[in-house]
Amino acid sequence: MAEETAGRTEKAQKHKDLLLEGLHARLHAAAAGRALSAARLGEQRRETRAARELLAATAAEAEGVHYERRARGAQWRDSLLALQRRDEALKARPGPVPILRAAPTCVPVPPIRKGSYN
């Protein structure tokens, strides 16, 4: 009878040891999963920060483009009004309109001698 009790106790102890080993394995797997999740979270945070910085830079550039577009539109309208005023002034002028010729703005360039470009 003592042998049966010892055998059952040993069997129960082996069962407990197997359960404990299984729990330890699950604990290590969970710790590794947690570490992996933490690493992924850190990487995602870095990517999110970089994306936000890129978005902010892009928004600033878009705002600059929008401002420049408005400024160019205003310049175009001002130029158009100035051309209309000149056209009206020319139409109101009596007689033929003289054609003005601009003086040439080219500067003569001396010829290149052979071997002087090295």
Do 55 and 62 form a contact (C-beta atoms < 8 A)?
no
* pLDDT confidence tier of residue 102, bands split at 50, 70 and 90: low
The average pLDDT across 41-66 equals 97
More confident residue, 76 or 4: 76
Cα angle at 50 between 64 and 41, to 5 degrees? 155
Count of residues in the chain: 118
Tokens of 7: 């055998």
Q: What is the pTM of this model?
A: 0.50
Residue-level pLDDT at 104: 65
The average pLDDT across 61-89 equals 95
